[in-house]
Chains A and B, each alone.
Chain A
């Protein structure tokens, strides 16, 4: 039963129809058709699509509109009339014309324009240009991936239990399952994701599901060069292209490859689980290291205490020895000083006694004195020199 009112205006009806239509398609849809025409207006792009096999007298037409940012990523070759293209977009209704259309997310040529000659040239180029020579290592833990794959591609196992670790963040950009422009589409999608601030990425995963033709866009030289350039910039590339009896050339260049998208999910989950295990082991190693450091610290403390005791004892013995030596030396020096003082006192005493009462009498000129009254005498003792005059001379002979 419908919950719509009994009577609606045309606008009300179309608005309601739009809501229900959008709800019915809860995600992007993929459409494969041929380009009928396209129009550019102020950066906005409108592409009219028709069926690969037109139906009857009134062929179907579907409008796909692109905003300027998305329109810039559409390659000119994909807009040539009668080109087979794959469009991804969300359902929309142009209410004032009562027309269903798509809001375009991506538009690319589909099918393979590859030839055996082009395939052989690509094989030669792998050797000559050393494509795939650089194979960047994966980070320990993959945290952020860029997934380039058709809308609806899933990576199943990637979300399985990672032992408490968060699954990686996946940034998805659409890529057709096959296209002669895969190289440029991959390069453009990586550049657009980086420009949108989604990067940097630990890994670029390029995938598609289902079987492919023996020669396809996945063998295209331009795609091989794009993958090689990414890896030379340090970005590891994983490819998962569903294939049955042959292996596309992109596997020879990409550093990492698995056969199916489901296998890619397991591969990524296994990588992160192994990283988680290694990180846990590292954590337990750190614990062991901490215990060992604690034990070493205790040993050092014990050794330090023992050394302190030994050093204190040694220093004590040295101090006692020095004190004894000081005393011995002091005794010897003191004895020497006492003896010296005795000799000095004896010498001084002897000289004092020897010179006591001794006087040398001369004339003023230092010669023999004139012995007569009134003559001048000079009397020298150890303590003084005296000039005096003779009062009286009493001769003994």
Chain B
């Protein structure tokens, strides 16, 4: 598991690149299914777990995550 947001971004980018490759048809369907099963689905699960950790850290730092999120959405 990666410890930094840079690693997180790189892993998410790798998943997205794979999706783009599949959508362009450059990956055979069976191979794509196996890659999803063996590599990218576990990666997505790890990334979900990391995201939960980031949110917990934010809450521990005293930031009202929900309010901050809403304020961020409101100001966006």
Task: Using CB atoms and an 8 Å cutoff, list the residues of chain A in contact with chain B.
Answer: 326-327, 329-335, 337-338, 340-341, 343-344, 347-348, 350-351, 354-355, 358-360, 380-383
Which among B33, B44, B75, B76 is the interface contact of A360 at CB below 8 angstroms?
A: B33
Bound-state Cα–Cα, A348 to B48, Å: 10
Q: Is the CB of A337 within 8 A of B54?
A: yes
Q: Is the CB of A382 within 8 A of B36?
A: yes
Compute the total of residue contacts between A and B using a CB distance below 8 Å: 94
Residues 54-76 of B contacting A (Cβ, < 8 Å): 54-55, 58, 61-65, 68-69, 71-73, 75-76
Closest residue of B by beta carbon distance from A340: B51
Closest residue of B by beta carbon distance from A384: B37
Bound-state Cα–Cα, A242 to B19, Å: 129
Q: Is the CB of A337 within 8 A of B51?
A: yes
Task: Using CB atoms and an 8 Å cutoff, list the residues of chain B in contact with chain A.
Answer: 8, 12, 15-16, 19, 22, 29-30, 32-34, 36-37, 40-41, 44, 47-48, 51, 54-55, 58, 61-65, 68-69, 71-73, 75-76
14 A-B pairs besides A329-B63, A335-B69, A382-B36 with CB distance below 8 A are A330-B58, A331-B72, A334-B72, A335-B73, A340-B8, A343-B12, A344-B47, A344-B51, A347-B19, A348-B41, A351-B44, A358-B33, A380-B30, A382-B37
Q: How far is the CB of B46 from chain A (nearest CB, A)?
A: 11
The answer to whether residues A327 and B33 also contact, given A333-B58, A334-B63 and a CB cut-off of 8 A, is no
The answer to whether residues A355 and B33 also contact, given A334-B65, A337-B58, A343-B16 and a CB cut-off of 8 A, is yes
Chain B residues contacting A355 (CB-CB under 8 Å) are: 32-33, 36-37
The answer to whether residues A348 and B34 also contact, given A333-B58, A338-B69 and a CB cut-off of 8 A, is no
Bound-state Cα–Cα, A383 to B38, Å: 10
6 interchain residue pairs of minimum CB distance: A330-B63, A335-B72, A330-B68, A360-B30, A334-B68, A334-B69
Q: Is the CB of B73 within 8 A of A338?
A: yes
Q: How far is the CB of A271 from chain B (nearest CB, A)?
A: 78
Q: Is the CB of A380 within 8 A of B33?
A: yes
Which of A326, A334, A340, A347 has most B Cβ within 10 Å? A334
